[in-house]
Structure 1
Amino acid sequence: MPLGIGILVFIIDQLVKHLVVSTMHLGQSLPVIKGIFHITYVLNPGAAFGMLEHQRWFFILVALAAVLLGAAFYKKLQQESFLMRSGAGLLLGGAVGNLADRIQSGLVVDFLDFRIWPVFNIADIAICAGAGILIFDIWQRRNEDDICS
């Protein structure tokens, strides 16, 4: 299941990014809800919020390490909870989506613009949601272990 979630996230992320790149000009912004939510085509040379700009190889290596860790623990992951498998799939799918951009051009295509937050993409959502789900699942298990002991 994590592999299926990861593949689905990757495909959706890349399809939407392709749509944005092929139909918009860099910097163009289309209001969906004027002043609140726009589709804005930007290229991000860094990580979240533009941190560590132009560290292409660092991000490529980190994403590849995440993929290799996911592959190494794939069999063990199949025995984990639904939340753990889902979180891992989201995290890996998002990491591979942004990895594809970095390998291709060194820049990540971002387009979701809520005007009060830096512009981001579907892969970013998957990474954050996946990490949050993993943290929640680990926290929940820890609390269950504390209750049972």
Structure 2
Amino acid sequence: MIYTLCALLGAALLGLDQWVKWWTSSHFSAPVPPHIYWTADPARDFLPGLVELTRVHNYGAAWSSFSGQRWLLVGLTSLILLAVLYALVRRIVRHPLGVLAGCLILSGGLGNIIDRARLGYVVDMFHFQFWPAYPVFNVADVCVVCGAALAAVYYLRFYEKYDKKGGPHGDADTAAR
């Protein structure tokens, strides 16, 4: 049941990510030289004083690292997502917090892979007004960051007790040995 609920949430978040990227692309002009990454349109308040909307084309990963390495990023992200998917499908992760973390990571990673493969860049749109140096991000980035944070909490607090083989709730075969 938890797998189904998390999969539905992940699919909904992936849909939201793609819709927000589409909306941003249709309401802000595309970046043009000399603004290769940022749109020339002024930012618009989303949550006044907190978050503004803009349009940025990110040709790299976080903080534009590996900029211009489109297929390397698609490949690395795909490998990470396959590992997370394997852990979920093989039920290596069974605790609800771990399953939720995996689904968030999958949904966010897929959202950014779709952009990279289709466009060659990721569309970002949210910018913290109170923290100008923080990079612009999107819904998929929020999913990946929240999923990674939940995965860390899951691993540090729950993995050993609930999902480690041979533990109290692990596989019966390994527990009997």
Fold conserved between structures, TM > 0.5: yes
Gaps in structure 2 of 5+ consecutive residues? 31-38, 163-177
Match of 2:138 in 1: 121
TM-score (norm 1): 0.87
**Native 8 Å contact 2:127 2:136 kept in 1:** yes
TM-score (norm 2): 0.74
Q: Deviations over 1:74-109 (max 9, x none)?
A: 333376100000000000100000000000111000
Match of 2:64 in 1: 50
Question: 1:77 and 1:136 mapped to 2: Cα distance?
Answer: 18
Q: Deviations over 1:22-44 (max 9, x none)?
A: 12113121123555421011100
Match of 2:74 in 1: 60
- Alignment-mate amino acid for residue 98 of structure 1: N
Deviation at 1:73, TM superposition (A): 3.0
Gaps in structure 1 of 5+ consecutive residues? none
Higher share of residues assigned helix: 1
Q: How does 1:65-80 map to 2 (within 5 A)?
A: 65-77=79-91, 80=94
**Native 8 Å contact 2:88 2:99 kept in 1:** no
- Alignment-mate amino acid for residue 141 of structure 1: F
Question: What is the aligned counterpart of 2:15 among 2, 11, 15?
Answer: 11
Question: 1:33 and 1:7 mapped to 2: Cα distance?
Answer: 25
Match of 2:121 in 1: 107
Q: Percent identity?
A: 26
**Native 8 Å contact 1:77 1:85 kept in 2:** no
Largest Rg, 1 or 2: 2
Question: 1:143 and 1:41 mapped to 2: Cα distance?
Answer: 43
- Alignment-mate amino acid for residue 67 of structure 1: L
Distance 1:109-1:88 versus aligned 2 partners, 3 A rule: same
Distance 1:33-1:122 versus aligned 2 partners, 3 A rule: closer
> What is the aligned residue count?
146
**SS at 2:90's partner residue?**
helix
Question: 1:56 and 1:118 mapped to 2: Cα distance?
Answer: 19
Question: 2:93 and 2:65 mapped to 1: Cα distance?
Answer: 35
Distance 1:34-1:86 versus aligned 2 partners, 3 A rule: closer
